[in-house]
Structure 1
C-alpha cells in the first residue's frame, strides 16, 4: 500500500524517524509544507511535542477524505505518553495516534529552548512527590539524552498494513 509521509522536525530526530519509516514502507518522507497529491492515499504526519503544540496534529486536522495517522515524538516516558494520550484531544477520532520516544541534545539546542526546559526542570524539582516521568525529565536536564527506538515504528507499519 502506498502512503504519504510528512514531518516537521526541529533538531532532526523526527526527520530521522520519518525517513526510517519511509524506508520501511518503500516511500519517501517530506516536510509538512510539501503539498499532498490530490488522491486518497493515506497520510502519516510526524512532529515533536513542544508544550501543548504538536504540529502534526494541526496538519492532520486539515486532511479530509483519506486515512490519517499522527505520530508525536517526545521525551515523556513512552508508557506515560500512551496512557495520557494527549493527541486524543488534538485530532478527530478517526485519526490514528502514535507516540515515539525522542532525543534531546542540549549541546545543539537553542538558548530559548534550553531556558524553557530549565524552567520546567525547576518546577519539577519543587514538587514534593515526583512521578517516574518527573524524575526522568529532571535527570535528562542539561545532558544529551537519546531515547529513539526504531522498533516503535512497527505499530505505524501495522496500521498501514491494516488499511489493505
Structure 2
C-alpha cells in the first residue's frame, strides 16, 4: 500500500517508529530535510509525518505550515515523553498546526529519553524544568512522572501504538 512517510528523530525513538511504520505499510521512511522544499511530496497517497515535540516546536507541524497538500490525507504522529493520556487529552499538536489542525489526523506515540545521551543544552533545560516542577504544588500525574524519571534513561517506545496509524493509512487509501 503506498504511503509517504517523513520523520525527524533526535534520540532515536521517532526513527524507530518511522521505520517500523514504513515496514508495515510496505514503503520507506525519509528524514525531513532542513529545507522542506527539498521534499518530494507529490501524489495523493496518505502522508504521515512523525516528529518529536521539543518544547514549543515540532518539525512535522512546521513542515505542514509551509506546504499546501490540498485534499491529500495527512497524519501527524507526535512522539514524546508526556504520559499518553495527558498528551492525547491536551492535543498540543493541534495548536502547533494552527488552522491546518482541522484537516490533519493526529496521533501521540510514547517515546524514549535517555539522559545518558542528552546534549548539555538539553540536559540543562530538563534540569530547570524538573527543578521548577519540584516546587509546584498540585502536580499532575505527568509532572510527577517527569520528576520521578529525571536523570534516568526511560524507554516507553511501544510499536503496538502504531496500530491506529496503520488503520488510518489503510482507510485513507480506500477513501
Confirm whether residue 86 of structure 1 aligns to residue 92 of structure 2.
Answer: yes
Answer 1 or 2: which has greater helix percent: 2
- Kept in 2: contact 1:60–1:70 (CA 8 A): no
Q: Is the 8 A contact 1:18 1:46 kept in 2?
A: yes
1:96 is aligned to 2:105: yes
Residue 54 of structure 2 is aligned with which of 50, 53, 72? 50
For 2:28, the equivalent position in structure 1 comes to: 28
Residue 76 of structure 1 pairs with residue 82 of structure 2? yes
Q: Give the aligned CA root-mean-square deviation in angstroms.
A: 1.1
Secondary structure in structure 1 of the residue aligned to 2:9: coil
Structure 1: distance between partners of 2:55 and 2:141: 19
- Check the 8 A contact 1:60/1:68 in 2, yes or no: no
Structure 2 residue 119 is the aligned partner of structure 1 residue 113: no
Contact 2:57/2:96 (<8 A) preserved: no
Aligned to 1:50, the other structure's residue is in SS state coil
**TM-score calculated relative to the size of structure 1:** 0.96
In 2, Cα distance between equivalents of 1:148 and 1:76: 12
Residues matched between the structures, number: 164
Change (3 A) 1:76 1:16: same
Q: Verify: 1:148 aligned to 2:154, yes or no.
A: no
Structure 1: gaps (5+ residues): none
- Residue 53 of structure 1 aligns to a residue whose secondary structure is coil
SS at match of 1:130: coil
CA–CA distance in structure 1, aligned partners of residues 68 and 26 of structure 2: 22
Matched, 1:134 2:134: no
Alignment partners' CA distance in 2, 1:120 and 1:43: 34
**Structure 1 outlier segments of 4+, above 4 Å:** none
* Secondary structure in 1 matching 2:115: coil
The whole-number CA distance in structure 1 between the counterparts of 2:167 and 2:79 is: 18
SS at match of 1:107: helix
